[in-house]
Amino acid sequence: MPFLELNGAQTYYELSGRGDGPVLMFSNSLGTNLGMWHGQAAAFSGSFRILRYDTRGHGQSAATPGPYTMEQLAQDVLALVDQLKIDRVSFCGLSMGGMIGIVLALRVPQRLERLILCNTSPKIGSAEMWNARIATAGKSGMEALADSVLERWYTAGFRTANPSAVAATRKMLVSTPVEGYAGCCAALRDMDLREGIAGIGVPTLIIAGSHDPVTPPTDGKLMAERIRGSRYVELAAAHLSNIEAADAFTTAMAGF
């Protein structure tokens, strides 16, 4: 199985698609793993070399002692592409993955061809909210968070009509190591780049969900206003728009 030692953490990744194609890299949201991108990986595999990985503390990657920082998670991405001898990628990240993308675009823009920021923001939630989430996970485990998280991630209509997709997402969530989840919650809690995003010069697509209570459309529009030349697309979905509105999401990516 493909693992690499990155900054003191065993990191799981998968390469697929067109071997000689430009690299399209996907970064998962909090509480998921690279499996969340299955639909997009399949859709773009004919044209791109697809690189997916499990963020530190998630999926099959090691849950090293926390707390983590967003800079640390971005350094993991750089270490991965360096070890794979990949010079530039188009980077697509959702929620936490999008925040990692923001850091990369500000720190190492020369490594990015394009940037796709999905259901994300340069600042998500409050310190009180994240501290409460960390405390609940530590005291009661991931099952205690699952129902409320899934209500934010998918609309009620989608949850009713697509029980298998919701069950697969729930499995990813509850199997996330508590230490890794809490470590990444701390990284989310401590990131605030609202003033910095105007410095992004990489071609950027912003995707928001009309029904997303986590990173609402106002967050996406704010980024679109501040990132010069960016494109903004709003989909009829909640937080995991790449799954709930998969066809529209993939179409938006393809047009970009």
Contact (Cβ atoms closer than 8 angstroms) between residue 208 and residue 239: no
What residues does each domain of the chain span? 3-255
DSSP alpha helix (H) spans, 156-212? 156-161, 163-174, 178-190
Closest CA to 171 of 12, 54, 35: 35
Question: What's the CA dihedral at 76, 27, 174, 4 to 10 degrees?
Answer: -40
- The strand pairing partners of 4, in sequence order, are 11
Q: For tokens 């044209």, what's the residue?
A: 47
C-beta neighbour count of 146 within 10 angstroms: 16
pTM: 0.97
Residue 45 near residue 16, CB atoms below 8 Å? yes
Look at the block and give the residue holding tokens 């970064």: 27
Residue 70: closest CA among 167, 163, 169, 189: 189
Q: What per-residue confidence (pLDDT) applies to 1?
A: 61
Cβ count near 87 (within 10 Å) = 10
153/212 Cα distance (integer angstroms):
7
| Contact (CB, 8 A) for 160 and 133 | no
pLDDT tens digits, one per residue of 26-50: 999 999 999 999 999 999 999 999 9
Place of tokens 């995707």: 207
Pairing of strands 112-118, 89-94: parallel
Q: What does the block give as tokens for 59? A: 């999926």
The segments of the chain whose pLDDT lies below 70 read 1
Give the architecture (CATH level 2) of 3-255: 3-Layer(aba) Sandwich (3.40)
How many Cα neighbours within 13 Å face the side chain of 97? 31
Separation between Cα atoms, residue 41 and residue 15, nearest integer Å = 10
Exposure pattern of 206-236 as b/e (b: 16+ CB <10 Å)? Answer: bbbbebbebbbbebbebbbebbeebebbbbe
Q: β-pairing, 9-17 with 3-6?
A: antiparallel
